[in-house]
Amino acid sequence: MSDADEAETSGADEEVQFTLKAVINRHKTKVLFAEIDSQFADALLSFLTMPLGKMVKLLNDHYRDEAPPIGSLTSLYSGLSNLDSRHFWTEGCKIMLLNPRSSLEYKCSRLKLDINDTRLEKYFCCEDPRCSRPRYSNISMHRDVGVCACGRSLNREIGVRNSCELADGDRDDGVFVVANESFLISDDLRLVPNVAGSVMGTLKNLGITDMDGAELRNVVFGFDEVIDLLKGSLLSRTPLSDMIILNRRKFYIARPKPERGIHEREFEGSSSIKKTILKVTVQKSTNKLLFAQSNNDFVDFLCSLLTFPLGGVEYHLCNNTPFKGIDNLYTSLADFIGDEYLANADIRKSLMKPSLPHGYMSENKILPLVGNTDPRLFYHKGLGMDEEWLSYSSRDSKCARAIKYRNNGGYYINGRKMYMVSDDLTVTPLCMISIFSILKDMKITLSDVKEVEVPIGVDEGLSILKASLTSTTALTDGLMLNPVLNKKPKQEPRGYFMHY
């Protein structure tokens, strides 16, 4: 990356730096652990708040041509960005999906280094400045996605003031962890408080058994290094060693084979979860999945994957994802970081079981997501006729009103069109010509093709989500256990419809 590119992507945070004290093994081949301050621990924990779509965008924007593909998420993202706006409810819906936001923005805006730049996020109110409906109850997080009670679009920007100040109920001692504490991170991103007097216990928690001949090295991390660390947490089992000892850009890219099956988990309200039918085209002679045809229900589900924060992925996949660094960070919150090290009592839950921002819940939900009912934003009106603003604190003025969001009813994709979904989750409008040309390119005859209808519910949804994190054949890997596709001859499973 050139210096010019570097300056452009580093943005306002380019001056922010952290110093890590890294302990390196005797052979200088591995970082055993590093001592970090609470502000760096906050930046690290903010990874859990990042929606998958935002993560893909951030890596694409930062690394450009060298951006690493993340499973099928990268092709899902680029497929949706190439899909014409008319397929979405509004142009705003498409922009929202390509720039998904976190329900913990009010926290992240106070980070020393916020790679998401949440401080720059905007909100929108009725386009009519003279609208008589209450402004505070007609707010949207995205332009042109919600409709005011008067029927007009919510597309006039309203600013957030003092976004770095404390939100109501927050204490001034840290964002996620308490301020001025020191923490240790292992090479694979286990995070533990740096407690004097329990050295052996701490090393055990970090998985370290041998410290002989270890040496200390001070390392400076800025914006680029934190993004490298995010990338490393997704692709490597030893991100710190990769960055500090090896050339930081040459990550060992761990691509574990997707495991078969998913963990059992009880979901709240899962009885309201619907199933949708996916029509899968399979090559008869090889039983290979070629592509799927779906209506907007399934495409809405794929869209919603981009809005899922990493902490939510961890929760729903029972802390067993291909992102081992993120797995470890998540487990650290449960296992090692006591309440006394957290900035407030709600933090653990908000990071480990995060909700989606209001308005992000699709009515077509296949996965049991939870929407945020507490926007933590207040509407303020000043003395001047036109003076109005939002802030995270009700203390900001005497007439603060908690805001209420309005949205489009929770759909992303408009109408009842059919779409083609390729194995890497690229979504395109369904078109006979393209199907024939795909089959022709693959040298597959029509007589060698069958269509199979696969019901997609919570299990299939989670399985596709898990596969999408690491595999470029997410449909095949996500549905490989499905009895319809994992065909056992002469034993047609009940409840499935097969078309030959």
- Footprint of Zn ion on this chain (CB under 5 A)? 126, 131, 133, 148, 150, 152
Q: How far is the CB of 361 from Zn ion (least distance, A)?
A: 23
3-state helix, strand, coil in the chain (%, to 5): 35, 20, 45
Residue whose CB is less far from Zn ion, 131 or 208 = 131
Residue whose CB is less far from Zn ion, 80 or 148 = 148
Q: How far is the CB of 379 from Zn ion (least distance, A)?
A: 14
Read off the amino acid at residue 275.
K
Would you tell me how many other CB atoms lie within 10 Å of the CB of residue 456?
23
Q: Cβ(310)–Cβ(433) under 8 Å? A: no
Residue whose CB is less far from Zn ion, 135 or 231 = 135
Q: How far is the CB of 131 from Zn ion (least distance, A)?
A: 3
Q: How far is the CB of 258 from Zn ion (least distance, A)?
A: 48
Q: How far is the CB of 135 from Zn ion (least distance, A)?
A: 8
Per-position b or e across 304-340, b if 16+ CB within 10 A of its CB: bbbbbbbbbbbbbbebebbbbbbbbbbbbbeebbeee
Per-position b or e across 256-294, b if 16+ CB within 10 A of its CB: eebeeebeeeeeeeeeeeeebebbbbbbeeeeebbbbbb
Q: How far is the CB of 156 from Zn ion (least distance, A)?
A: 9
Residue whose CB is less far from Zn ion, 150 or 216 = 150
Q: Angle 91-98/52-63 helices, nearest 10 degrees?
A: 70
Q: How far is the CB of 133 from Zn ion (least distance, A)?
A: 5
- Work out the angle at residue 204's Cα, subtended by the Cα atoms of residues 249 and 251, and round it to the nearest 5 degrees: 10
Would you tell me how many other CB atoms lie within 10 Å of the CB of residue 195?
16
| SS3 state of residue 100 | coil
Q: Cβ(242)–Cβ(250) under 8 Å? A: yes
Q: How far is the CB of 383 from Zn ion (least distance, A)?
A: 22
Residue whose CB is less far from Zn ion, 139 or 465 = 139
* Nearest alpha-carbon partner for 449 in 274, 293, 237, 277: 293
CA 90 centroid distance within chain: 22
User: Cβ-count burial of 499 within 10 angstroms (0-12 exposed, 13-18 middle, 19+ buried)?
Assistant: exposed
Residue whose CB is less far from Zn ion, 181 or 388 = 388
Cα gap 500→199, rounded to integer Å: 65
Residue whose CB is less far from Zn ion, 154 or 310 = 154
Residue whose CB is less far from Zn ion, 134 or 457 = 134
For 449, list phi and psi in degrees, rounded to 5: -120, 140
For 260, list phi and psi in degrees, rounded to 5: -80, 135
Residue whose CB is less far from Zn ion, 220 or 385 = 385
Q: Angle 223-235/3-10 helices, nearest 10 degrees?
A: 90
Would you tell me how many other CB atoms lie within 10 Å of the CB of residue 396?
17
Q: How far is the CB of 378 from Zn ion (least distance, A)?
A: 19
Q: How far is the CB of 129 from Zn ion (least distance, A)?
A: 9
Residue whose CB is less far from Zn ion, 126 or 329 = 126
User: Cβ-count burial of 453 within 10 angstroms (0-12 exposed, 13-18 middle, 19+ buried)?
Assistant: middle
Q: How far is the CB of 397 from Zn ion (least distance, A)?
A: 22
Residue whose CB is less far from Zn ion, 152 or 288 = 152
What pairs with residue 453 in β-bridges? 279, 497
